[in-house]
Chains A and B, each alone.
Chain A
Protein backbone atom coordinates (compact mmCIF):
# COMPACT_ATOMS: atom_id res chain seq x y z
CA UNK A 1 0.00 0.00 0.00
CA UNK A 2 1.12 3.54 -0.68
CA UNK A 3 -0.17 6.76 0.90
CA UNK A 4 -0.29 9.94 -1.19
CA UNK A 5 -1.53 13.44 -0.30
CA UNK A 6 -2.20 16.34 -2.66
CA UNK A 7 -3.17 19.78 -1.39
CA UNK A 8 -4.31 22.44 -3.85
CA UNK A 9 -5.45 26.06 -3.66
CA UNK A 10 -8.84 26.50 -5.34
CA UNK A 11 -10.39 29.38 -7.28
CA UNK A 12 -13.74 29.09 -5.57
CA UNK A 13 -15.82 27.20 -3.04
CA UNK A 14 -17.56 23.99 -4.13
CA UNK A 15 -21.25 24.66 -4.77
CA UNK A 16 -24.03 23.13 -2.68
CA UNK A 17 -24.43 22.52 1.05
CA UNK A 18 -23.97 18.78 1.32
CA UNK A 19 -21.52 17.84 4.07
CA UNK A 20 -20.68 14.33 3.00
CA UNK A 21 -20.80 11.98 0.02
CA UNK A 22 -19.36 8.57 -0.75
CA UNK A 23 -19.17 6.94 -4.17
CA UNK A 24 -17.59 3.80 -5.57
CA UNK A 25 -16.45 0.51 -4.08
CA UNK A 26 -12.98 -0.78 -3.19
CA UNK A 27 -12.50 -3.61 -5.67
CA UNK A 28 -10.00 -4.58 -8.32
CA UNK A 29 -9.78 -1.70 -10.79
CA UNK A 30 -12.20 0.39 -8.73
CA UNK A 31 -12.00 2.83 -5.81
CA UNK A 32 -14.13 4.62 -3.25
CA UNK A 33 -14.10 8.38 -2.80
CA UNK A 34 -15.32 9.97 0.44
CA UNK A 35 -15.92 13.70 0.09
CA UNK A 36 -16.30 15.92 3.17
CA UNK A 37 -16.87 19.68 3.43
CA UNK A 38 -14.36 20.33 6.23
CA UNK A 39 -11.72 22.72 4.79
CA UNK A 40 -11.48 26.49 4.24
CA UNK A 41 -13.20 27.53 0.97
CA UNK A 42 -9.90 28.18 -0.79
CA UNK A 43 -8.39 24.73 -0.20
CA UNK A 44 -8.80 21.20 -1.47
CA UNK A 45 -7.10 18.09 -0.10
CA UNK A 46 -6.96 14.64 -1.67
CA UNK A 47 -5.71 11.80 0.53
CA UNK A 48 -5.07 8.48 -1.19
CA UNK A 49 -4.35 4.96 0.01
CA UNK A 50 -3.64 2.82 -3.02
CA UNK A 51 -2.91 -0.87 -3.57
CA UNK A 52 -0.82 0.01 -6.64
CA UNK A 53 2.44 1.60 -5.45
CA UNK A 54 4.66 3.74 -7.67
CA UNK A 55 2.07 5.76 -9.61
CA UNK A 56 2.49 9.07 -7.72
CA UNK A 57 3.12 11.08 -10.89
CA UNK A 58 -0.05 9.80 -12.55
CA UNK A 59 -2.10 10.60 -9.43
CA UNK A 60 -0.53 14.07 -9.34
CA UNK A 61 -1.63 14.74 -12.91
CA UNK A 62 -5.15 13.31 -12.47
CA UNK A 63 -5.78 15.30 -9.26
CA UNK A 64 -4.40 18.54 -10.73
CA UNK A 65 -6.69 18.10 -13.74
CA UNK A 66 -9.69 17.45 -11.50
CA UNK A 67 -9.04 20.48 -9.27
CA UNK A 68 -8.62 22.69 -12.33
CA UNK A 69 -11.87 21.46 -13.85
CA UNK A 70 -14.12 21.47 -10.75
CA UNK A 71 -12.53 23.91 -8.27
CA UNK A 72 -13.75 21.87 -5.28
CA UNK A 73 -12.90 24.50 -2.62
CA UNK A 74 -13.53 23.39 0.97
CA UNK A 75 -13.63 19.69 0.18
CA UNK A 76 -11.43 16.90 1.47
CA UNK A 77 -11.43 13.76 -0.65
CA UNK A 78 -10.33 10.50 0.97
CA UNK A 79 -9.66 7.66 -1.45
CA UNK A 80 -9.29 3.93 -0.92
CA UNK A 81 -8.01 2.59 -4.21
CA UNK A 82 -8.01 -0.98 -5.50
CA UNK A 83 -5.79 -0.21 -8.48
CA UNK A 84 -8.22 1.84 -10.59
CA UNK A 85 -7.15 3.25 -13.97
CA UNK A 86 -6.79 7.04 -14.26
CA UNK A 87 -10.06 7.43 -16.19
CA UNK A 88 -11.95 5.60 -13.44
CA UNK A 89 -10.32 7.83 -10.82
CA UNK A 90 -11.35 10.95 -12.76
CA UNK A 91 -14.91 9.63 -13.08
CA UNK A 92 -15.27 8.87 -9.36
CA UNK A 93 -13.82 12.25 -8.34
CA UNK A 94 -16.25 14.00 -10.70
CA UNK A 95 -19.15 11.94 -9.31
CA UNK A 96 -18.17 12.84 -5.73
CA UNK A 97 -17.86 16.55 -6.59
CA UNK A 98 -21.25 16.48 -8.32
CA UNK A 99 -22.91 14.81 -5.32
CA UNK A 100 -21.52 17.53 -3.03
CA UNK A 101 -23.17 20.17 -5.23
CA UNK A 102 -26.58 18.88 -4.10
CA UNK A 103 -28.36 20.52 -1.18
CA UNK A 104 -27.94 18.96 2.24
CA UNK A 105 -30.46 16.18 2.86
Chain B
Protein backbone atom coordinates (compact mmCIF):
# COMPACT_ATOMS: atom_id res chain seq x y z
CA UNK B 1 0.00 0.00 0.00
CA UNK B 2 1.47 3.38 -1.00
CA UNK B 3 1.98 6.18 1.52
CA UNK B 4 -0.52 8.45 -0.19
CA UNK B 5 -3.15 5.73 -0.11
CA UNK B 6 -2.57 5.19 3.62
CA UNK B 7 -2.95 8.90 4.26
CA UNK B 8 -6.18 9.10 2.33
CA UNK B 9 -7.64 6.15 4.25
CA UNK B 10 -6.71 7.71 7.59
CA UNK B 11 -8.22 11.11 6.85
CA UNK B 12 -11.40 9.49 5.54
CA UNK B 13 -11.77 7.53 8.78
CA UNK B 14 -11.24 10.68 10.83
CA UNK B 15 -13.96 12.33 8.80
CA UNK B 16 -16.27 9.36 9.32
CA UNK B 17 -15.71 9.53 13.07
CA UNK B 18 -17.76 12.72 13.16
CA UNK B 19 -20.70 10.38 12.43
CA UNK B 20 -23.54 10.28 14.96
CA UNK B 21 -23.21 7.32 17.33
CA UNK B 22 -26.98 7.31 17.78
CA UNK B 23 -27.67 7.04 14.06
CA UNK B 24 -24.95 4.47 13.29
CA UNK B 25 -25.50 0.72 13.11
CA UNK B 26 -23.63 -1.65 15.42
CA UNK B 27 -21.27 -2.62 12.59
CA UNK B 28 -20.56 0.99 11.67
CA UNK B 29 -19.84 1.86 15.32
CA UNK B 30 -17.33 -1.00 15.61
CA UNK B 31 -15.66 -0.19 12.28
CA UNK B 32 -15.26 3.53 13.05
CA UNK B 33 -14.50 3.24 16.79
CA UNK B 34 -11.49 0.96 16.39
CA UNK B 35 -8.36 1.35 14.28
CA UNK B 36 -9.08 1.02 10.54
CA UNK B 37 -9.09 -2.57 9.28
CA UNK B 38 -8.15 -3.98 12.72
CA UNK B 39 -11.37 -5.82 13.56
CA UNK B 40 -11.66 -9.61 13.37
CA UNK B 41 -15.22 -10.74 14.03
CA UNK B 42 -16.00 -13.95 15.94
CA UNK B 43 -19.01 -16.06 14.89
CA UNK B 44 -19.80 -13.60 12.08
CA UNK B 45 -23.01 -13.53 10.05
CA UNK B 46 -21.65 -16.08 7.56
CA UNK B 47 -21.78 -18.69 10.37
CA UNK B 48 -25.57 -18.16 10.50
CA UNK B 49 -25.62 -18.82 14.25
CA UNK B 50 -29.21 -17.60 14.56
CA UNK B 51 -31.72 -17.74 17.40
CA UNK B 52 -33.24 -21.20 17.87
CA UNK B 53 -36.44 -19.63 19.26
CA UNK B 54 -37.63 -16.98 16.82
CA UNK B 55 -38.80 -19.44 14.15
CA UNK B 56 -41.25 -20.89 16.70
CA UNK B 57 -42.91 -17.47 16.74
CA UNK B 58 -42.75 -17.12 12.96
CA UNK B 59 -40.39 -14.16 13.35
CA UNK B 60 -37.43 -13.29 11.11
CA UNK B 61 -33.92 -14.06 12.33
CA UNK B 62 -30.75 -12.03 11.89
CA UNK B 63 -27.55 -13.84 10.91
CA UNK B 64 -25.55 -12.35 13.81
CA UNK B 65 -28.51 -12.47 16.25
CA UNK B 66 -28.17 -8.72 16.75
CA UNK B 67 -24.66 -8.56 18.20
CA UNK B 68 -21.18 -8.16 16.73
CA UNK B 69 -18.31 -9.60 18.81
CA UNK B 70 -14.65 -9.54 17.92
CA UNK B 71 -11.08 -8.43 18.55
CA UNK B 72 -9.62 -5.20 17.25
CA UNK B 73 -7.19 -2.44 18.13
CA UNK B 74 -7.80 0.90 19.83
CA UNK B 75 -4.97 3.36 19.26
CA UNK B 76 -2.72 0.38 18.57
CA UNK B 77 -3.62 -1.73 21.61
CA UNK B 78 -5.78 -4.87 21.41
CA UNK B 79 -9.36 -4.68 22.70
CA UNK B 80 -12.27 -7.09 22.66
CA UNK B 81 -15.45 -5.46 21.41
CA UNK B 82 -19.16 -6.32 21.53
CA UNK B 83 -21.78 -4.15 19.82
CA UNK B 84 -25.53 -4.60 20.05
CA UNK B 85 -27.77 -3.69 17.10
CA UNK B 86 -30.59 -1.69 18.64
CA UNK B 87 -32.72 -1.85 15.50
CA UNK B 88 -32.98 -5.66 15.53
CA UNK B 89 -35.63 -6.57 18.12
CA UNK B 90 -34.64 -3.53 20.20
CA UNK B 91 -31.13 -4.91 20.70
CA UNK B 92 -32.64 -7.45 23.08
CA UNK B 93 -30.71 -10.32 24.67
CA UNK B 94 -31.65 -13.75 23.34
CA UNK B 95 -29.90 -17.06 23.89
CA UNK B 96 -27.31 -16.79 21.09
CA UNK B 97 -26.92 -13.01 21.44
CA UNK B 98 -26.14 -13.45 25.14
CA UNK B 99 -23.86 -16.46 24.64
CA UNK B 100 -21.70 -14.48 22.21
CA UNK B 101 -21.10 -11.79 24.85
CA UNK B 102 -20.55 -14.36 27.62
CA UNK B 103 -17.96 -16.15 25.47
CA UNK B 104 -16.16 -12.90 24.69
CA UNK B 105 -15.97 -11.97 28.38
CA UNK B 106 -14.69 -15.44 29.32
CA UNK B 107 -12.00 -15.20 26.65
CA UNK B 108 -11.01 -11.82 28.10
CA UNK B 109 -10.92 -13.35 31.59
CA UNK B 110 -8.67 -16.20 30.44
CA UNK B 111 -6.27 -13.88 28.62
CA UNK B 112 -6.36 -11.34 31.44
CA UNK B 113 -4.69 -8.35 29.78
CA UNK B 114 -7.04 -7.36 26.94
CA UNK B 115 -9.86 -4.95 27.92
CA UNK B 116 -13.47 -5.31 26.74
CA UNK B 117 -15.63 -2.57 25.24
CA UNK B 118 -19.38 -3.25 25.34
CA UNK B 119 -21.39 -1.01 23.00
CA UNK B 120 -24.78 -1.33 24.68
CA UNK B 121 -27.96 -0.68 22.66
CA UNK B 122 -30.69 -2.74 24.25
CA UNK B 123 -34.17 -2.81 25.72
CA UNK B 124 -33.26 -5.84 27.86
CA UNK B 125 -34.26 -9.48 27.51
CA UNK B 126 -35.93 -10.64 24.28
CA UNK B 127 -39.45 -11.59 25.36
CA UNK B 128 -39.75 -14.46 22.86
CA UNK B 129 -36.86 -16.26 24.57
CA UNK B 130 -37.35 -14.92 28.05
CA UNK B 131 -35.90 -17.73 30.16
CA UNK B 132 -32.83 -18.16 27.96
CA UNK B 133 -32.42 -14.37 27.87
CA UNK B 134 -32.68 -13.98 31.65
CA UNK B 135 -30.12 -16.76 32.11
CA UNK B 136 -27.88 -14.99 29.60
CA UNK B 137 -28.05 -11.78 31.66
CA UNK B 138 -27.02 -13.67 34.80
CA UNK B 139 -24.18 -15.43 32.94
CA UNK B 140 -22.93 -12.15 31.49
CA UNK B 141 -23.00 -10.39 34.89
CA UNK B 142 -20.97 -13.23 36.36
CA UNK B 143 -18.60 -13.16 33.39
CA UNK B 144 -18.08 -9.39 33.76
CA UNK B 145 -17.18 -9.75 37.44
CA UNK B 146 -14.93 -12.76 36.75
CA UNK B 147 -13.14 -10.83 34.00
CA UNK B 148 -12.68 -7.79 36.26
CA UNK B 149 -11.40 -10.03 39.07
CA UNK B 150 -8.82 -11.38 36.60
CA UNK B 151 -7.67 -7.80 35.99
CA UNK B 152 -9.66 -7.06 32.82
CA UNK B 153 -11.13 -3.58 32.32
CA UNK B 154 -14.73 -3.77 31.07
CA UNK B 155 -16.06 -0.49 29.68
CA UNK B 156 -19.61 0.25 28.59
CA UNK B 157 -20.34 2.80 25.84
CA UNK B 158 -23.97 3.88 25.80
CA UNK B 159 -25.61 6.18 23.26
CA UNK B 160 -27.86 4.10 21.04
CA UNK B 161 -31.46 4.24 19.95
CA UNK B 162 -32.64 1.57 22.40
CA UNK B 163 -30.66 3.02 25.34
CA UNK B 164 -29.54 0.50 27.93
CA UNK B 165 -32.51 -1.02 29.74
CA UNK B 166 -33.56 -4.14 31.61
CA UNK B 167 -30.77 -6.68 32.03
CA UNK B 168 -28.57 -4.37 29.96
CA UNK B 169 -28.82 -1.82 32.76
CA UNK B 170 -27.81 -4.49 35.27
CA UNK B 171 -24.78 -5.52 33.18
CA UNK B 172 -23.81 -1.87 32.75
CA UNK B 173 -23.88 -1.54 36.54
CA UNK B 174 -21.27 -4.35 36.74
CA UNK B 175 -18.81 -2.67 34.35
CA UNK B 176 -15.57 -0.97 35.41
CA UNK B 177 -16.75 2.34 33.93
CA UNK B 178 -19.36 3.80 31.58
CA UNK B 179 -19.34 6.56 28.99
CA UNK B 180 -22.75 7.90 28.00
CA UNK B 181 -24.17 10.48 25.60
CA UNK B 182 -27.33 12.49 26.18
CA UNK B 183 -29.31 10.00 24.07
CA UNK B 184 -27.94 7.00 25.97
CA UNK B 185 -30.57 6.36 28.58
CA UNK B 186 -29.62 3.91 31.35
CA UNK B 187 -32.17 2.24 33.59
CA UNK B 188 -33.61 -1.16 34.45
CA UNK B 189 -37.39 -0.71 34.10
CA UNK B 190 -38.27 1.41 31.07
CA UNK B 191 -40.73 4.31 31.16
CA UNK B 192 -43.70 2.26 29.90
CA UNK B 193 -42.96 -0.56 32.33
CA UNK B 194 -42.94 1.81 35.31
CA UNK B 195 -46.15 3.50 34.19
CA UNK B 196 -47.89 0.16 33.62
CA UNK B 197 -46.92 -1.16 37.05
CA UNK B 198 -47.11 1.97 39.20
CA UNK B 199 -49.52 4.27 37.41
CA UNK B 200 -49.19 7.46 35.42
CA UNK B 201 -48.92 9.55 38.62
CA UNK B 202 -45.68 7.72 39.39
CA UNK B 203 -44.18 8.07 35.91
CA UNK B 204 -45.75 9.50 32.76
CA UNK B 205 -43.95 7.64 29.96
CA UNK B 206 -45.27 10.09 27.35
CA UNK B 207 -43.54 12.98 29.12
CA UNK B 208 -40.32 12.77 27.09
CA UNK B 209 -38.63 15.55 29.07
CA UNK B 210 -39.26 13.54 32.25
CA UNK B 211 -37.84 10.39 30.64
CA UNK B 212 -34.67 12.14 29.46
CA UNK B 213 -33.93 13.95 32.72
CA UNK B 214 -34.59 10.80 34.78
CA UNK B 215 -32.79 8.20 32.65
CA UNK B 216 -30.74 10.22 30.13
CA UNK B 217 -26.98 10.56 29.99
CA UNK B 218 -26.74 13.97 31.69
CA UNK B 219 -28.48 12.74 34.83
CA UNK B 220 -26.47 9.52 34.88
CA UNK B 221 -23.25 11.52 34.70
CA UNK B 222 -24.28 13.95 37.46
CA UNK B 223 -25.50 11.12 39.69
CA UNK B 224 -22.23 9.20 39.26
CA UNK B 225 -23.80 6.31 37.35
CA UNK B 226 -21.60 7.08 34.35
CA UNK B 227 -18.00 8.27 34.63
CA UNK B 228 -17.88 10.26 31.38
CA UNK B 229 -20.43 12.25 29.39
CA UNK B 230 -19.73 12.57 25.68
CA UNK B 231 -21.18 14.29 22.65
CA UNK B 232 -22.96 12.05 20.14
CA UNK B 233 -20.05 11.27 17.79
CA UNK B 234 -17.92 8.16 17.26
CA UNK B 235 -14.79 10.26 17.90
CA UNK B 236 -16.07 11.38 21.31
CA UNK B 237 -16.82 7.79 22.33
CA UNK B 238 -13.36 6.73 21.12
CA UNK B 239 -11.66 9.41 23.20
CA UNK B 240 -13.80 8.51 26.23
CA UNK B 241 -12.88 4.81 25.89
CA UNK B 242 -9.16 5.70 25.76
CA UNK B 243 -9.51 8.02 28.77
CA UNK B 244 -11.31 5.39 30.82
CA UNK B 245 -8.86 2.63 29.85
CA UNK B 246 -6.00 4.75 31.18
CA UNK B 247 -7.71 5.76 34.43
CA UNK B 248 -9.46 2.63 35.77
CA UNK B 249 -7.96 1.23 38.93
CA UNK B 250 -7.55 -2.38 40.04
CA UNK B 251 -10.71 -4.21 41.08
CA UNK B 252 -11.18 -6.04 44.39
CA UNK B 253 -13.33 -6.35 47.49
CA UNK B 254 -12.37 -2.80 48.50
CA UNK B 255 -13.83 -1.52 45.21
CA UNK B 256 -17.15 -3.17 45.97
CA UNK B 257 -17.17 -1.82 49.53
CA UNK B 258 -16.49 1.68 48.21
CA UNK B 259 -19.27 1.27 45.65
CA UNK B 260 -21.68 0.12 48.36
CA UNK B 261 -20.92 3.15 50.51
CA UNK B 262 -21.18 5.47 47.48
CA UNK B 263 -24.68 4.13 46.77
CA UNK B 264 -25.72 4.34 50.43
CA UNK B 265 -24.49 7.92 50.56
CA UNK B 266 -26.35 8.75 47.37
CA UNK B 267 -29.59 7.29 48.71
CA UNK B 268 -29.22 9.20 51.95
CA UNK B 269 -28.55 12.51 50.20
CA UNK B 270 -31.09 12.29 47.39
CA UNK B 271 -33.59 9.61 48.43
CA UNK B 272 -36.29 12.15 49.23
CA UNK B 273 -35.92 14.12 45.99
CA UNK B 274 -39.05 13.80 43.80
CA UNK B 275 -37.32 14.82 40.55
CA UNK B 276 -33.88 14.87 38.93
CA UNK B 277 -33.88 18.69 39.03
CA UNK B 278 -34.13 18.51 42.83
CA UNK B 279 -31.09 16.23 42.90
CA UNK B 280 -29.07 18.62 40.73
CA UNK B 281 -30.10 21.53 42.97
CA UNK B 282 -29.11 19.52 46.06
CA UNK B 283 -25.74 18.92 44.35
CA UNK B 284 -25.29 22.68 44.42
CA UNK B 285 -25.68 23.24 40.69
CA UNK B 286 -26.98 26.78 40.04
CA UNK B 287 -29.93 27.08 37.63
CA UNK B 288 -30.46 23.30 37.57
CA UNK B 289 -33.60 23.60 35.44
CA UNK B 290 -31.44 24.73 32.50
CA UNK B 291 -29.40 21.50 32.40
CA UNK B 292 -31.58 19.52 29.96
CA UNK B 293 -31.23 22.26 27.33
CA UNK B 294 -27.45 22.73 27.73
CA UNK B 295 -25.34 21.89 24.66
CA UNK B 296 -22.92 18.98 25.20
CA UNK B 297 -19.75 21.09 25.52
CA UNK B 298 -21.28 23.42 28.10
CA UNK B 299 -22.69 20.49 30.04
CA UNK B 300 -19.30 18.73 30.07
CA UNK B 301 -17.67 21.90 31.43
CA UNK B 302 -20.33 22.09 34.15
CA UNK B 303 -20.14 18.36 34.98
CA UNK B 304 -16.36 18.59 35.33
CA UNK B 305 -16.88 21.14 38.12
CA UNK B 306 -19.30 18.85 39.94
CA UNK B 307 -17.46 16.17 41.93
CA UNK B 308 -16.80 13.07 39.87
CA UNK B 309 -17.87 9.72 41.19
CA UNK B 310 -15.21 8.32 43.45
CA UNK B 311 -12.48 6.57 41.52
CA UNK B 312 -12.30 4.00 44.32
CA UNK B 313 -15.87 2.87 43.72
CA UNK B 314 -17.46 0.71 40.96
Q: How far is the CB of A26 from chain B (nearest CB, A)?
A: 4
| B78 at interface, CB cutoff 8 A | no
Residues from chain A with a CB closer than 8 A to the CB of B88 are 25-27
CB B128 to nearest CB in A, in angstroms, measures 14
**B37 and A105 contacting across the interface, CB-CB below 8 Å:** yes
Q: Which residue of B lies closest to A53 (CB)?
A: B58
Contact A30 B58 (CB under 8 A): no
Count how many chain B residues have C-beta atoms less than 8 Å from C-beta atoms of the other chain.
Answer: 18
When C-beta atoms are compared, the residue in chain A nearest to B25 turns out to be A25
Q: Is the interface of B mostly helix, strand, loop or mixed?
A: loop
Whether B212 sits at the interface, judged by CB under 8 Å, is: no
Q: How far is the CA of A36 from the CA of B60 in the complex (A)?
A: 20
Say yes or no: is A51 at the interface (Cβ < 8 Å to chain B).
yes
Interface centre among A22, A30, A78 (most CB of B within 10 A): A22
In chain A between 45 and 70, which residues have their CB closer than 8 angstroms to a CB of chain B?
49-51
Q: What residues of B have a CB within 8 angstroms of the CB of A50 in the complex?
A: 60
Residue of B at shortest CB range from A78? B63
B274 to nearest A CB, angstroms?
37
Residues from chain A with Cβ under 8 Å of B60 in the complex: 1, 26, 49-51, 80-82
Contact B61–A49 (Cβ < 8 Å): yes
Per-position binary interface string of chain B over residues 161-185, scored 1 when its CB falls under 8 Å from any chain A CB and 0 otherwise: 0000000000000000000000000
B contacts, CB < 8 Å to A: 25, 27, 37, 44-46, 48, 55, 58-64, 85, 87-88
**Given A51-B59, A105-B37, 14 more contacts at CB 8 Å?**
A1-B55, A22-B27, A22-B45, A25-B25, A25-B88, A30-B87, A32-B45, A36-B46, A49-B60, A49-B61, A51-B58, A51-B60, A78-B48, A80-B61
28 A-B pairs (CB sep. < 8 Å) = A1-B55, A1-B60, A20-B46, A22-B27, A22-B45, A22-B63, A25-B25, A25-B85, A25-B87, A26-B60, A26-B61, A26-B62, A26-B88, A27-B87, A27-B88, A30-B87, A32-B45, A32-B62, A34-B45, A34-B63, A36-B46, A51-B58, A78-B48, A78-B63, A80-B62, A81-B60, A82-B60, A105-B37
